Structure 1
Amino acid sequence: MYAILDIETTGGKYNEEGITEIAIYKFDGHEVVDQFISLVNPERPIQPFVANLTGINNEMLRNAPKFYEVAKRIVEITTDCVVVAHNASFDYRILQTEFSRLGFDYERHSLCTVELSKRLIPDQQSYSLGKLVRGLGIPLSDRHRANGDAQATVKLFKLLLAKDSEKNIITTTVRADPKRQIDDKLLRIIKEAPTATGVYYMHREDGKIIYIGKSKNIKKRLNQHFTNDNRKSRRIQIEVTKVTYEITGSELLALLKESEEIKRNRPKYNRALKRVKFDQALYQFIDEDGFINLKVSKADNRKKSITTFSNVQQAKTYMHRWTEEYNLCQKLMGLDSSKGNCFNYTIKQCFGACILIESPEEYNSRAQQLINNNSFDSQDMIIIDHGRDVDEQSLILIEEGKFKGIGYFNLNHQINNIDILRSIITPMQHNRDAQHIIQSYVRTHKKLKIIKLEKND
């Protein structure tokens, strides 16, 4: 199965581009079986030359869905597919960048119709999509718009499949298919694995743990490990003799356990995962006019942060989102350096803090609400998530802003006594990695139940 796609972007600096339009056609090798087409609000301005090229301007995108609102659909339509695009390295990189801003690892096998065309249709004057398809008699409408280019790429890919007499494209696709044959030892391990959410531990013959991972579907993740062809995966496939696992029910608990267990056991194939990746943090200060200012900068252990982000792009995405959600000022959020009022004041989304029309007290109450909703500083709370069974829920205990541990309780019991909570949790280490995991997960999973606790005197 193939996901043939085209993406239009804002242009700009490398890895700072945003998607403005996307079109995806799910293709089974014979016909299109599903499709997704949408404009996307990139939450950043479009470069003028790009607007002239595509005809997509900032005004057109003002009410379009933001990337996080279409991300789930993109994941669904491309799952178990090989991504196909004309100059696939660009489209695939842009998708990975957008997903990384949301803290999600997006990985798919890919094929490039530029490279395939050069091999199967040699001696063409140009391999740009427009000139290539015109030279091949393939109709192309709406050039430099995602839907028009994606439709042309579908027709081009059909032609390439027909011309591929040695079936190299199909062979590559089958090799990328997780259902391909693997040896009996690995098949046995996969067969015994659960489809549940949890943490898994790969052991070599003497029992030593060589790799620790987490997944929402352990069986599926092991299938991926044992069918990957990269160097690390092949070495793991040779060494592993058994996989044990611990079902958590909650992905958040799995993330926390994975982080702590890797630090404790230091498996040989987890070297790159010793620390959770985040390098940006949100800080606050009061300016000379008494307004709370929020600023993102490089994470510094010596400074007290509100929350942390995986990278600059993710931080910018949330700063724009929060500015809109809490009606905050772009200038006081570090998003507008122009003189006078910020742009949001012009469109009545800012109430004038940038030009001192709104009082610090009124503005700061909303800014403080944002801070309280994204910081655990000095707070006592429990975070409730899925349990391992239908009649169970999981919990994470935080006391005085510090992560204390994880546990489970039956749905028939109300748990809000701090002493009982301390007795049922499994204690875990509070560190910057654990704090980042919890805060970033809470940001992206709004349905989580958070209960503030009152301690007994």
Structure 2
Amino acid sequence: MYAILDIETTGGKYNEEGITEIAIYKFDGHKVVDQFISLVNPEREIQPFVVNLTGINSKMLRTAPKFYEVAKRIVEMTEDCIIVAHNSQFDYRILKTEFDRLGFPFKRKTLCTVELSKKLIPGQDSYSLGKLARSLGIPVSDRHRANGDAMATVTLFKMLLSKDSDKVIVKDTIQLEAKKEIASNLKNIIKELPHSTGVYYIHNADGDIIYIGKSNNIKNRISQHFTSNSSKSKKLQRDAATVTYEHTGSELVALLKESEEIKRIKPIFNRALRRNIFTHALYSFTDENGYINLVIDKADGRKKPITTFANRQSAKSFLFNAVEEFQLCQKLTGLYPTKTSCFNYDIKQCLGACIQEESPEDYNNRVLSLIAKNSYSNESMVIIDRAREIDERSAILIENGVFKGLGYFNLNYQITKREVLQSLITPMENNRDAQHIIKNFLRKNKKTKIIKFEN
């Protein structure tokens, strides 16, 4: 659990500042579960430059509660939480100073989103909250007011969690929790999970990830793991201490994250890294008469496929539909072995490429249309899909046919430049599995929104 906060102060000499406003959002890693926002009477003068910056003046604070009156609520909001702030060293120092004045020992673990951003989003011109939010498309209202800045920090922290591919933040959080608070009862673990699409991580008591999976219904899938009598499930039931998850909203994002993270983290209960999630592929070659032929064959990493399939049957089904959609020849697609005309020619549904009645140029144009529709070999584009919130979308970036990574953006932020996407996305490996997942998704979801860029 995290307490994401922002504090506005009077300014002045070091350790003599007072709090004028505080906003705290209790965040469970996915959503805000509690909040506290209040002006605070600092019982001291506010520096003029601070009044100009925040708009908070002494008159506004005359009837506001003093710190000792809100101290109990702050303790409750931050108890058993990691404090998260943009420049947490400052906010934490101010809080400790105020509690020291009350004679109360205030001690919390902290995370700084400035330091995390420098590590996980390198290369930014500035890491101030305002400029960073602007470059990442994070909406900020009431800049330099505690509530506006705290809400922007919540959004930034969500982005940093999704970019933390090694799950260092989550693991540290689990290790921080007292062992008694880690659910030992599997039913208690299931109770906290959502009926949503995403990637889930099963951890042992040390916080180590022992299994990674993907599901369109995380709660139901974990329930299956924890009630099944299979050998693997029994081992998971024995070792599971807690389950964390990343709600993606998009099945495509979930599939890509699951594939990537199994390979990188190598959890002990995931099978052989799923190197071959596809078995067959569609290839092309030009015959001696100049016609482009299509052929289904076993997937071969040395050859570049048009698209890939989980099995031969799904490949054949795809090709039968393609023959109909693009009016292709059954013989030249390998679906009707013959030395003469194909069956479709006999029923006047083939234009005669099989017996060289149709010119290679006319026939090949339709084959190339099929290839272009099902391959992004040299294209640069971003695939837009559903995301975690109503006002958010996921973005999968392809550059010159290479999968670069994925991320999320707010709908109010127009994605028009690749430089912006570079900041938003989490870089990911462009391997055969990722290519297969993307091609398979686009083949099955023909209405998916795609924005193309010039190479």
The equivalent of 1:400 in structure 2 is 400
Normalised by the length of structure 2, the TM-score is: 0.58
Render the CA deviation track for 1:205-240: whole Å, top value 9, x for unaligned: 111111000111111111111111111111111110
Q: State the identity %.
A: 59
Q: State how far apart, in whole Å, the 1-side matches of 2:333 and 2:451 are.
A: 28
What is the alpha-carbon distance in structure 2 between the residues aligned to residue 347 and residue 189 of structure 1?
A: 61
Work out the CA distance in 1 between the residues paired with 2:274 and 2:326. 36
Where 2:288 maps in the other structure, the secondary structure is coil
Instruction: Report the alpha carbon displacement of residue 204 of structure 1 after superposing the two structures with TM.
Output: 0.8
CA RMSD of aligned residues (A): 1.4
Letter of the 2:322 counterpart:
W
User: Which residue of structure 2 aligns with residue 79 of structure 1?
Assistant: none
Q: Offset of 1:339 from its aligned partner?
A: 2.5
**Cα offset, 1:410, TM superposition:** 1.6
For 1:351, the equivalent position in structure 2 comes to 351
One-letter identity of the residue aligned with 1:381: M
1:436 aligned to 2:436?
yes
Matched, 1:221 2:221: yes
2:195 is aligned to 195
Q: Where in structure 2 are the equivalents of 1:41-440 lying within 5 Å?
A: 185-440=185-440
Match of residue 111 from structure 1 = none
- Secondary structure in 2 matching 1:270: coil
5+ residue gaps, structure 1: 1-182
Q: Distance in 1 between matches of 2:380 and 2:213?
A: 29
TM superposition shift of 1:392: 0.8
Post-superposition offset of 1:408 = 1.1
Equivalent pair of 2:184/2:241 in contact (CA under 8 Å)? no
Q: Using the alignment, how far apart are the partners of 1:239 and 1:276 within structure 2?
A: 28
- Post-superposition Cα deviations, 1:146-193, rounded to whole Å, max 9, x if no partner, equal xxxxxxxxxxxxxxxxxxxxxxxxxxxxxxxxxxxxx97111111111
Q: In the TM superposition, what is the alpha-carbon distance from 1:306 to its structure 2 partner?
A: 1.1
- How far apart are 1:447 and its partner, in Å? 2.1
Distance 1:297 1:277 in 2: 15
CA displacement 1:309-368 (0-9 Å, x = unmatched): 111111111111111111100111011112211111122221111111211111111100
Tell whether the 8 Å contact from 2:232 to 2:269 is kept in structure 1 after alignment.
Answer: yes
CA distance in 1, matches of 2:384, 2:346: 41
Q: 1:299 to 1:363 in 2, by over 3 A?
A: same
Counterparts in 2 of 1:276 and 1:189: CA distance versus 1, 3 Å: farther
Contact 1:281 1:308 in 2 (8 A): yes
Secondary structure, aligned partner of 1:269: coil
Could you say if the C-alpha distance between residues 451 and 347 of structure 1 is closer, same or farther in structure 2, counting changes exceeding 3 Å? farther
Q: Aligned AA for 2:280?
A: Q
Q: What is the DSSP-based 3-state SS (H/G/I as helix, E as strand, rest coil) of the residue aligned with 1:318?
A: helix
Aligned residues: 273
- 2 CA distance for matches of 1:348 and 1:388? 50
Distance 1:198 1:437 in 2: 15
Deviations 1:229-259 (A, max 9, x none): 1111111111101001111110000000000
Q: After alignment, is 330-339 or 255-264 more displaced? A: 330-339
CA distance in 2, matches of 1:237, 1:293: 51
**TM-aligned CA deviation for residue 402 of structure 1:** 0.6
Shift of 1:276: 4.1
- In the alignment, which residue of structure 2 is the partner of 1:40? none
SS in 2 for 1:407: strand
Q: Alpha-carbon deviation of 1:390?
A: 0.7
Distance 2:228 2:347 in 1: 50
Cα distance between partner residues in 1 of 2:223 and 2:325: 41
- The Cα offsets for residues 386-432 of structure 1, whole Å up to 9 and x where unpaired, read as 01111111110000101000011122232121111112111101000
Amino acid at match of 1:213: G
For 1:422, what is the secondary structure of its paired residue?
helix
SS of equivalent to 1:268: coil
- 1:307–1:374 contact (8 Å) kept in structure 2: yes
> In the aligned structure 2, how far is the partner of 1:431 from the partner of 1:206?
31
**Higher alpha-carbon deviation: 296-305 or 397-406:** 296-305
* Structure 1 residues 339 and 274, CA gap change in structure 2 (3 angstroms): closer
Whether contact under 8 Å (1:266, 1:274) holds in the other structure is no
Q: What letter corresponds to residue 362 of structure 2 in structure 1?
A: E
Give the CA deviation at 1:268: 1.1
TM-aligned CA distance change 1:302 to 1:184, over 3 Å: closer
In structure 1, distance between residues paired with 2:452 and 2:291:
27
Separation of aligned partners in 1, 2:326 and 2:349: 9
CA contact (8 A) 1:382 1:397 kept: yes
Work out the CA distance in 1 between the residues paired with 2:426 and 2:184.
Answer: 37
State whether residues 259 and 276 of structure 1, in contact with CA within 8 Å, keep that contact through their aligned partners in structure 2: no
Describe the superposition over 1:79-105 as per-residue Cα deviations: whole angstroms up to 9, x where unpaired.
xxxxxxxxxxxxxxxxxxxxxxxxxxx
C-alpha separation in 2, matches of 1:221 and 1:402 = 32
Structure 2: segments with no counterpart, 5+ residues: 1-182
Q: CA deviation at 1:288?
A: 1.4
Aligned-partner SS, 2:331 = coil
Report the residue type matching 1:319 in the other structure.
L
Q: 2:274 and 2:344 mapped to 1: Cα distance?
A: 41
Hey, what does 1:445 align to over in structure 2? 445
Contact map agreement 2:326 2:366 (CA 8 A) in 1: yes
Question: Structure 1: how far apart are the matches of 2:404 and 2:306?
Answer: 19
| Displacement after TM superposition at 1:273 (Å) | 4.2
Amino acid at match of 2:260: E
